[in-house]
Chains A and B, each alone.
Chain A
Amino acid sequence: MSSVTTTQAASLSPQAPQSVWRHWLRKIEWRIFLLPLIGLLLWQGWKLLAESGYYADFIVPHPSTVWARLTERWADGSIVTHVATTLREALSGLFIASLIATALGYIIARVKIFDYLLTPYLIFLQAIPVIAVSPLIIIWFGSGLASKVVIAAMITWFPMMIATIVGIRNVSPNLREMMRANAATRWQIFRHLEIPSAMPELFGGLKIAVTLSVVGAAVGEFVSARQGLGYLVMYGRGISDTPTVVLAVLMLTFVSLVLYSLVSVLEASLLNWRKAGKP
């Protein structure tokens, strides 16, 4: 059958040269142009709003003012310091939370008694609003790196744990039996079956957690800090410089987006098998 279609295609193209154009037009990914277009529209909308005269620069700062703040802070290097601080806090928190949450999630998924004993307390723990207890965390852990790491961990562990539980529970019982029939050890089942099988769910959890980790770090910085993008928000507010506030918020968004994209790229390269067999 495939030979029939190829001969048809080969005989059609020289007879119809305009189909070459159509072929190229179809091949271009129009989405690539659409994506920056929407961004440009938002930018222009913001500019129009700022230039309309209805709002003072203090309420809606002009994009160019925000841009000026960025170049100033880029020149003196302070923006890099703030980004690096928030990034370090967020990623350290996420790392620690991932270790604890995957370990907890695994034993809850595998051992019934742990599920029964731990789950109610863990849900109780998650029900505590992190933002409300963040002043307490600052009191306990100081206003340096540690408190922000703790807050970032507190906000990210839950999605990671749920992802692990779902991932491990979804491991096919048939594949478990196949591994047992092959005299696999517990470690081999963990290494060759459970981890790869739970990967899609783990990446789902990581995608949620990675953006939340930035939120966690910023929340900690809101309460008490001397550096970081959350601190920059509060600093800008303190000196009534709205452009700095907007800059810090945009940078927080940017950091989250970059981290999320990195996780997505890693996911796509590690889980390339999921594309198999799909048109």
Chain B
Amino acid sequence: MTAILQADHVHHTFTAANGQTIIALEDVSLALSPGTFTALIGPSGCGKSTLLRILAGLVKPTSGQVQFGGLPLHRPQRQISMIFQKDNLMPWRTVYENIELPLQLAGVSKNEREQRVARLLYVTGLLGFENQFPAELSGGMAQRVAIARGLVNEPDVLLMDEPFGALDALTREQMGQELLRIWSTTQATVVMVTHSISEAVFLADRVLVMSPRPGHFIREVTVPFTRPRSIELLTDSTFTLLEAQIRAAIH
């Protein structure tokens, strides 16, 4: 299968505040097949987030190329959605209006916006909250809104930068399951940056392990479990074995 999103020999350096040149990414190549779920894992500051921003077209790599749908990617595309660690909701917009934003920016008609937002409200379990402001929501609820906003324009690719990083452990587990359920209603290709090994194994089809700076892939682990996956998987022996392999690769 041809890759929908592909990075070829991406290098990225940037200049720190003290004038030092930092190599963030070194020769990173990556190909994403349509409909797959990939997790990026690695120590802090290994360039995971930078890579994600390069894949989103937000950051131009120092060298190397990113292709989206066979064409070079130069700027953010509406078919590539990004979900951030912080919910990044607009405090002056209601839940409904926040989810609606990407459609509004894309010039989708009001009628169609209503239908699509309504569907996402339903899928993400936010029905009844549509007129609330972000300040009235819990962290988990706010992140649900951010996920709904990321999916509302039915993107081909969904990039997630530690989407559950700001949540407590219990909410996080629950949101992971929710995400799988929501994702199963879409055809999106997902790349998710995470710090949590179990989250990576639970959610993804494959886990890419990155080295400390300069970041590059040191290991690829294919996750064999079928979907839908349930929470019992977390205590499965194969699951714990995969976790141990990834942990060993990181340290």
Chain A interface (Cβ < 8 Å from any Cβ of B): 172, 174-175, 177-184, 188, 192-193, 196-197, 199, 271, 273-274, 276-278
Contact = CB atoms under 8 A, between A and B. Distances in A.
Interface residues of B, number: 27
Nearest to A278: B135
Interface of B: 56, 58, 75-78, 80-82, 84, 86, 88, 90-94, 101-102, 104-106, 132-136
A56 to B, nearest CB: 57
A180 B58 contact: yes
A278 B133 CA distance: 11
Contacts of B81: 181-182
Contacts of A276: 91, 132-136
15 contacts: A177-B84, A178-B84, A181-B58, A181-B81, A182-B78, A182-B81, A182-B101, A183-B76, A183-B78, A196-B90, A199-B92, A273-B92, A277-B135, A277-B136, A278-B135
B8 to A, nearest CB: 22
Contacts of A183: 75-78, 105-106
A241 B78 CA distance: 71
A192 B101 contact: yes
Contacts of B76: 180-183
B58, B76, B80 — most chain A CB neighbours (10 Å): B76
A11 to B, nearest CB: 29
A276 B90 CA distance: 13
B37 to A, nearest CB: 20
Contacts of B91: 273-274, 276
B90 A181 contact: no
Contacts of B75: 183
Contacts of A182: 76, 78, 81, 101-102, 105
A279 to B, nearest CB: 11
A70 B123 CA distance: 66
Nearest to B133: A276
A175 B90 contact: yes
